Amino acid sequence: MLRDGWRRRWWRPDPQALAVYAALRPMVVVTGGSEGIGYELARRFAKGGHPVMLVARRPGPLEEAAARIRAAYGVEAIAVPADVTAPGAIAAIDAVLAANGAYADVLVNSAGIGLAGPFHAQPEEDLTRLIDLNVRALTQLTRHYLPAMRLRGRGGILNLASLGGYTPGPYQAAYYASKAYVISLTEAIAAETAGEGVRACALAPGPVDTAWHERAGAETALYREVVPPASAASVARAGYLGYLVGLRVVVPGLFNPFFALALKIIPHRIMVPFIAWLLRPRGTKPTDA
């Protein structure tokens, strides 16, 4: 296709290097794949006929998610119980790929956590965990698998970001900052790899109907009452289609793209107090920020 040729316009194959992959098959690796958006993205790729590897910390839900995908779509779905922030996690993923005669054709970085409440009140260990998962692990996984994608002239990275990445987020400060990093990193990689056959896409949804809000401690924030959440399935569908057509950032929903534009052009002096009003958990004084 002309589009594929244009996407690979600067790619020059190295037959000797590519010979390593001749006997291997492509696989989609999804972190945070046991539930929520990660699971729905894995399901989308599986529906498209791609074998998937699901990576998450809890073995039980992970195995169940993989079994559901196998039963629904008849494709291979491998469960790899692993904490991607732990030393040796990438080596463990590589070992399972090698054992199954596969390579990471697409990496979906969906694993992530949030924290709600005043920044100064967050336990240091929770902040470290958030940065390790949302930023460090995502960066290391991307850096590890991207060079081989460029060598093969195919595949790509789909990173789960957030609409919150376009603005500072009082009362979810570290989370919003981590998603700003994800958007920035992904767009930069997309520019660096343009014409090499590799896609890099950030999926930036607004609130989504998952367990994330409860786990982050954000259930009492005003936005949970006034902003209707999207379903994880609809967000995954938009992200999958946007990735396929080569978009660098996907903001799902009818109104969210306009909200993203507003976050870009309205001065922070005006926008950030409004965001703080939406995100502040009830029972927290405004002066606590």
In this structure, is the dihedral angle defined by the CA atoms of residues 169, 171, 174 and 179, taken in order, positive or negative? Answer: negative
Which residues are catalytically annotated?
175
Look at the block and give the residue holding tokens 């400060």: 173
